[in-house]
Structure 1
Amino acid sequence: MRVVVAPDCFTGTLTARQAAAAMAAGWSAWAPDDEVTPVALSDGGPGFVDALAGSLPGQLLTVTVGGPTGQPTPATVLLVEAGDDPSGLRSAYVESAQACGSHLVPAAERDPGAATSYGVGELLLVALEEGAQRVVVGLGGSVTVDGGAGLLAALGVAATGADLAHGPRGLAGLPVDGLGGLHAARERFAGVELVAASDVDVPLLGRHGAVHGFARQKGATAEQLPGLEAVMTAWASAVVEAAGHAGAPDPGRLVALPGAGAAGGLGFGLLALGAVRRSGAEAVTAAVRLAERLDGADLVLTGEGSFDWQSLRGKVVAGVAHVAGGLGVPVVVVAGQVAVGRRELAVAGVESAYAVADTPEQVAASLAAPAAALSARTERVARTWHR
């Protein structure tokens, strides 16, 4: 058999590359003569650059940028030459979580009113300095809710009576006509294809937006949400006003565009610069040429830490199922835990899903040795699916 193993990371335990290796080893333990190809994937969140670096021949630049609380933070930019990138352009891949991810701030110390996306803007500057013709920014896993204000500040955007670089608290009192420098920031990306690759397609404001949809998991209390939403609303008005003066077509639509609320509103900041939004999983599957790898395969294994309803909306499993479905390749999921029913699996184009751990004891054992547990579960899956 020809088997392609194409998982996302198992958050907190295994990177996508480690997960792919463990699953491949498990399958090969049962069927050593099969051709097994591991391919690490990502939906744009943590592990985005690492997953791509496993498939794309390119140069990894290590830099230091400001983290979400201003602390120096190491990050990487993956540069891929035009001849090696499926787009045909000299491309830079940037992971926002490396500069403002939740893993950079202990849970007890998270302050959504002060966390900034400034470091992401610094990563974009590195990409421009390296002559990138295309910049793909993976969005996800952020600890910020600043609407991309920090990102724009790093690119030279400033405000009257407000501080864009230090989180939502610095935006209080921002007048609607108080932004300057957005036109110059947009000009820096003239002729550059800017892509916001996110796993969610939510707008900036409202019930499912950056604040009400995600701020609680970044440390905000229920009492803080109305204030954060008010600040975000005022910020959105100021950006729309400035974007109109900067020549952005139909700037009023930026707030409601799918993906504007991704990564605490980082999507909004990128859209204001002229970016286009794309599903993170689709961007990665295209970059690693997953369709070519699946052509002629007998089976594809994919997975992630928790396979639930969110997995079927813009996540890696959905992306793999979409590509595989067009080629008639069966899809099987191996995940840490599974919370998706058979009917949902069928609608998503997934044949079966298997959990590494079901009981509390199994969960504890898998967390203690995640690679071994994933490999062992995949070996048992191979017994069912090998032919």
Structure 2
Amino acid sequence: MNILIAPDSFKGCMSSVEAAEAIQRGIKRSPFRGATVKTVPMADGGEGTVDALLAPLSAEKIKVKTVDPIGRETLGFFAWNEARKVAVIETASASGITLLSEDELDPEAATTHGTGIIMRAALDKGAEEIVLGIGGSATVDGGAGFLQELGAEFIDKSGQSIKRVSGRLSEIHQITTKSLDERLVKVKLIVASDVKNPLLGENGAIAVFGPQKGVKKEEIRNYETGMKQFADITASVTGEDLRDRPGAGAAGGFGFSLMSYLGGEVRNGFDLISDLTNLEQKIEWADIIISGEGRLDEQTFFGKGPMGLARMALNKKKTALLFGGAVSESFIKNTLNENNLIPVSLINEITTLEEAMENGAELLEQASWHTMKTLHTGALKLKRFI
């Protein structure tokens, strides 16, 4: 039997590489210990994107001194292939929500400056093509901090330059791009995102993703007003209005700026990475496909890697196992009719979220072992082998 292990990261708990290793350890303890196993750590543009593409791109991991969303020094990174002059950057490594504790979430202060620092480091390396994953950000600054780090200037109503642009987009009254790093014009920029939301409105950056980044319900209107003002000024500067373009609302409006100012091509993160890793070919080879992420819920159905992988597997009549730190009732309900799709939760009635986060790898290994053992007994359907 051939088994493909291709998990996403379990946000704040395990990288995709660590998750793949834990699942494989469980299989090696199970009745399927003699199976041929391949691991392909996955990502969809968020945390783990760099690690997922190191091997496929024959790249090295370059570390960069940068800052986190609230300005503290941290160590970021990007993948680099010298021969092809290709860099892969993930916003999560410098501007990610997992870099902050819950009580540190501050949408007014959080910025994408740190990601701009990493972008400049990639340009200094001589990058001619950059893949920028924008999932998992802690920001709603519309990418303004990123642009400022690369030379854009933001002016307030008194005509003064704003020192550090953040989520206070309503303070911006003028944007100047004459000093924007000229190397950006020559770079091919591919933006990897797992969402298609527009910039504004009930399905936009603030309304949908703001609350998880610390925006209070009563503050949504003010942040939305600031984002609209930013979009209006940007349209006047660039000569085109991309606020309704799919993906504009990704990463707190970062997608909008990358398209508007840098001509970034937004691609579905899972599709991009699956192409670069020859995932379809590996699914053809496998008999069982295993994936997972921190939580399987309704968002998993919209562009998330594990569900994209499961759909590819099911289309080829293969069995797919999806492990989740937690699995929502809505996810279970929506997958009831998929006989060859088996969701497995790491959290049960005696496991708290805190315990699961602290012991994620151990719980995932145990779940892998138990699920494979149960498959072998025939208690779970595996039509091709039982």
CA 1:353 to 1:115, structure 2 compared with 1: closer, same or farther past 3 Å?
A: same
Do 2:130 and 2:188's aligned partners in 1 also have CA atoms closer than 8 Å?
yes
Question: Aligned-pair distance for 1:317?
Answer: 1.3
Question: Does the 8 Å contact 2:12/2:98 carry over to 1?
Answer: no
What does residue 165 of structure 2 align with?
166
Instruction: Specify which structure has the higher proportion of helix.
Output: 1
Tell me what 2:380 maps to: none
Residue equivalent to 1:5:
5
Aligned to 2:176: 180
- 1:291, CA displacement in angstroms? 1.9
Per-residue CA deviations over 1:109-145 (Å, capped at 9, x if unaligned) read 3321121111212222222222222211111221111
Q: Percent identity?
A: 32
Output the CA distance in 2 between the equivalents of 1:366 and 1:104.
19
Number of equivalences: 370
- 1:353 and 2:351 matched: no
Q: How many Å separate the matches in 2 of 1:70 and 1:364?
A: 27
- Relative distance call for 1:130 and 1:14 in structure 2 (3 A) is same
Q: Distance in 1 between matches of 2:236 and 2:55?
A: 42
Q: Is the partner of 1:295 in helix, strand or coil?
A: helix
| Alignment partner, residue 382 of structure 1 | 372
Partner Cα separation in structure 2 for residue 153 and residue 338 of structure 1: 40
For the residue of structure 2 that corresponds to 1:233, the secondary structure is helix
Q: Tell me the CA shift for residue 290 of structure 1.
A: 1.5
Whole-Å Cα distance in 1 between the matches of residues 303 and 150 of structure 2? 29
In 2: Cα distance, 1:349 partner to 1:276 partner = 37
Q: More deviation in 37-46 or 362-371?
A: 362-371
Query: Counterpart in 2 of 1:86?
Result: none
Backbone CA RMSD of aligned residues: 2.4
**Which deviations, in whole Å up to 9, do the C-alpha atoms of 1:175-195 show, x marking residues without a partner?**
3xx22216x648533342211
SS at match of 1:42: coil
Cα distance, 1:148 vs structure 2:
0.8
Q: Is residue 2:44 matched to residue 1:43? A: yes
Could you say if the C-alpha distance between residues 290 and 25 of structure 1 is closer, same or farther in structure 2, counting changes exceeding 3 Å?
same
Instruction: Please give the alpha-carbon distance, in whole angstroms, between the structure 1 residues aligned to 2:101 and 2:37.
Output: 38
Distance 2:110 2:87 in 1: 25
Tell me by how many angstroms 1:62 deviates: 0.6
State the SS of the aligned residue for 1:190: helix
The alpha-carbon deviation at position 34 of structure 1 amounts to 0.5
Which residue number corresponds to residue 33 of structure 1? 34
In structure 2, relative to structure 1, the CA distance for the partners of 1:63 and 1:114 (3 Å cut) is same
Q: How does 1:128-207 map to 2 (within 5 A)?
A: 128-161=123-156, 162-163=161-162, 165-169=164-168, 171-175=169-173, 178-181=174-177, 185=180, 188-207=183-202
Equivalent of residue 243 in structure 2, options 255, 259, 271: 255
Equivalent residue, structure 2, for 1:298: 287
Structure 1 letter corresponding to 2:170: A
Name the CA distance, whole Å, in 2 between partners of 1:40 and 1:61: 19
Residue segments in structure 1 that go unaligned for 5+ positions in a row: 83-88, 245-250
Question: Aligned residue for 1:22?
Answer: 22
Which one-letter code corresponds to 2:48 in the other structure?
G
Partner deviation per Cα, 1:27-69 (whole Å, 9 max, x = no partner): 1211221101121111222222223335542111111123222
| Structure 2 gap ranges (5+) | 377-384
Match of 1:211 among 206, 213, 218: 206
Instruction: Specify the code of the residue in structure 2 equivalent to 1:207.
Output: E
Q: CA deviation at 1:157?
A: 1.1
**Is 1:222 aligned to 2:217, yes or no?**
yes
**Post-superposition offset of 1:202:** 0.8
In structure 2, do the counterparts of structure 1 residues 264 and 365 end up closer, same or farther at CA, with 3 Å as the change threshold? closer
The answer to whether residue 361 in structure 2 is matched with residue 371 in structure 1 is yes
Q: What TM-score, normalized by structure 1, do the two folds share?
A: 0.88
Q: Secondary structure at the match of 1:256?
A: coil
For residues 104 and 14 of structure 1, do their structure 2 counterparts lie closer, same or farther at Cα, with a shift above 3 Å needed? closer
Correspondence 1:265 to 2:253: yes
CA contact (8 A) 1:102 1:218 kept: yes
Matches of 1:190 and 1:276 in 2, distance apart? 13
The question of whether the paired residues in 1 share the 8 Å contact of 2:89 and 2:133 is answered with: yes
> Is 1:62 equivalent to 2:63 in the alignment?
yes
1:284 and 2:273 matched: yes
Deviation at 1:325, TM superposition (A): 4.3
Change (3 A) 1:194 1:347: farther
Q: Match of 1:305, SS? A: strand
Task: Report the CA distance shift for 1:265/1:341 in structure 2 as closer, same or farther (over 3 A).
Answer: closer
Counterpart amino acid of residue 166 in structure 2 = G
- Cα offset for 1:356? 2.3
